[in-house]
Structure 1
Amino acid sequence: MALVTAPEFPEIPVSRLPEDAVLLDVREDDEWAAGHAPDAVHIPMTTLAERLDEVPDGDPVYVICRSGGRSARVTSYLNGNGWDAVNVEGGMSMWERLGKPLVSETADPPQVI
């Protein structure tokens, strides 16, 4: 039997996000431009360390990426540095699958890439 350990960070599935969730999207610029949640704040994971003053106020801040890997790392980092952060399990891929609203920064229809 395999040993199962709990994650080192809190998680919530997209389907259980509160309506008023403060979302931090940590995907790259091209991913964000293609499609994102309407009220999310965008800080790519690769620039987070130098942009910590831009992390939105939230209790907690819900961190999202495409599938949950990058956001899990950012959630762990933020929690280790004084924030109350929760990873969004399934990420924007699940967001799109569930038919949640998307907006785009391009003229194309919004999509998760």
Structure 2
Amino acid sequence: MDAAAVPSDGFVLDVRENDEWAAGHVEGALHIPMSDFVGRLGELTESAEDGRRVHVMCRVGGRSAQVTQYLVQQGIDAVNIDGGMQAWEGAGRPMVTDNGTPAFVL
């Protein structure tokens, strides 16, 4: 899915590592690093209980493509955000940080 096409109220799952998340992320996204993903899958299923589509994000789309494939195999409606956070930033979509510093893609 194109980053510009993600609904403004869409459910975003960010699978980047902690340093990447800290640099800048989508406001309201759920952060579960890919390295922790299988062990923390319950956090996602609780957050996506209402059957909302999960928009999976990483930096450029490789890690998120793997996680998307896994989620689909688990019966979860998931789509990969093509180009990841780089495409999100390029599309002018908003990003935030937890500490208020200017957001960027690491």
TM-score normalised according to structure 2 size: 0.90
Provide the C-alpha distance between the structure 2 equivalents of 1:63 and 1:77, rounded to a whole number of angstroms: 11
1:34 matched residue in structure 2 = 23
Alignment of 1:83-94 (within 5 A): 83-94=76-87
Deviates more, 1:91-100 or 1:41-50: 91-100
Could you list the structure 1 runs, at least 4 aligned residues long, displaced by more than 2 angstroms after superposition. 105-108
Q: Which runs of 5+ in 2 are unaligned?
A: none
Q: Percent identity?
A: 50
- Give 1:106 shift: 3.9
Greater gyration radius: 1
Between Structure 1 and Structure 2, the one with more helix by share is 2
TM-score between both structures, scaled by the size of structure 1? 0.85
**1:10-89 alignment, distance < 5 Å:** 12-55=1-44, 56-57=47-48, 58-89=51-82
Say what the alpha-carbon RMSD is for the aligned residues: 1.2
Confirm or deny: 8 A CA contact 1:34 1:106 kept in the other structure.
no
One-letter identity of the residue aligned with 2:92: G
Cα deviation digits, residues 39-84 of structure 1 (max 9, x gap):
1110000001000111131521110101110000000001111211
